[in-house]
Amino acid sequence: MGARRIIQVEEKVPFKLLVPLSIQHMFAMFGASVLVPFLFGISPAIVLLMNGVGTLMFIFITKGKAPAYLGSSFAFLAPAGIVIANPQWGYAYALGGFVVVGFCGCVLALLIYKFGTEWIDVVLPPAAMGPVVALIGLELSASAASTAGLLEETVDSMNLIVFLVTLGFAVFGSVLFRGFLSIIPILIAVIAGYLAAVFCGMVSFQEVLTAPWFALPQFTAPKFDWEAIAIILPVILVIASEHIGHQVVTSKIVGRDLLKEPGLHRSLLGDNFSTMVSGMIGSVPTTTYGENIGVMAMTGVYSVHVIAGAAILSIICSFVGKLSMLISTIPGPVIGGISFLLYGMIGTSGLRILVDSQVDFGKPRNQALTSVIFVTGLSGIAVKIGNIKLSGMVLACVVGMILSLIFFLLDRTEAESKE
């Protein structure tokens, strides 16, 4: 079997390859990204628009050196839900919170630019970073199974068939496909799964037929209330941890240290500036997307030109009613089948950090650090700070940082005592 052809970050691809590769990225993010506006009770069109615009801004801010697609952030669901449900506030006041969180994230990016990223190696050494990154994918695994309808008490046989067809094409396609087909296994799997869903009678085209060809996204201006902002503001801890984890795993995939070039300050600025602009026009906060990181890991296509193409397609979809409605007919078992593999790819990328960094588990502290982080992230325990609940990867990251810092201080104290 020949080596897989890698398409690097700055590499351009011919137009005949650009379109299907970009569509593949758009399909990967669509299911999860559109779910957030549905939960907030707003039209997904404005979200598709801002996902595309935000991604293009991110690429510009990072000088085209950090491949990332920005989709809807799930981190804001709980606190924003509290603000939206309050009859005195509503969605406009949640938007105000999004704007402030995005602004504070930009300030954090400037602080990192001022003080550097060396502290990351202290608070998140490889023995901690590896399991934290792995948890990004592993804690999402249940979400993939749930989307596919596999966690129901009685699993629908049609759901299972469509899920297995989609997953089968994704898994075996990534191994057996050659040439051009080898870099679009996700797209092929989505098409195969969709056809299987149509055959199983799971797809209705009625809403596609009645949808208008042209539909203008609905814009909403933010409103600001300090109490509502205080409910949402702590999310900055969550999105900062998530962003660092995503940049580390992407660095491992593309074989470059993105924390140094273009720099964590640039990627964090791009991520949070997009969230701030999203809040200003009525869209939901954005974040770098694990699904699209998984696509890069699987296909070996890291080109920012491809991701920019996906962003432009998302913008087009936000104005073409029938097209966005057609994509929204992709059933859960298809999205779940794709996510099942992509989330696993992120999990194995975390394990790859441990291997590539040659973490010595003969050392008790490395073994303890990795073990505590994994158990914290997978045990289901949660810590509540005000209206923000820290659990899963985020809580594991915080615990890992505290433990790592304690170990660092112990080492430093021991070294000073010997001098």
Give residue-wise pLDDT tens across range 95-149.
Answer: 999 999 999 999 999 999 998 877 777 888 889 888 887 887 787 788 788 888 8
Confidence label for 406 from pLDDT (cuts 50, 70 and 90) = very high
Q: Are strands 70-72 and 388-391 parallel, antiparallel or unpaired?
A: unpaired
Q: What pLDDT is recorded for position 340?
A: 86
Tokens of 198: 């149509």
In this predicted structure, the answer to whether residue 183 has a pLDDT above a threshold of 60 is yes
Residue 404 in domain = yes
As for how many domains the chain has, the answer is: 1
Quick check: is 419 in a domain? no
Residues 6 or more apart in contact with residue 44 via CB below 8 angstroms: 34, 37, 38, 324, 328
| Best CA proximity match to 238, nearest among 369, 80, 18, 90 | 80
Q: Is the pLDDT of residue 63 over 60?
A: yes
Q: Could you list the residue range(s) of the whole structural domain that residue 281 is in?
A: 15-411
Domain membership flag for residue 1: no
Does the reported pTM lie above 0.85?
Answer: no
Q: Assess whether pLDDT exceeds 70 at residue 329.
A: yes
- In a domain, residue 75? The reply is yes
1 pLDDT above the threshold of 60: no
Residue 10, in any domain of the structure: no
Q: What is the DSSP string of 139-185?
A: TTHHHHHHHTT-SSSS--HHHHHHHHHHHHHHHHHHHH--GGGGG-H
Report pLDDT for 332.
85
Is 7 a member of any domain? no
| Of the candidates 246, 239, 259, 190, the residue with the CA atom closest to the CA atom of residue 68 | 246
pLDDT at 28: 81
The answer to whether position 6 is within a domain reads no
Flag whether 417 is in a domain: no
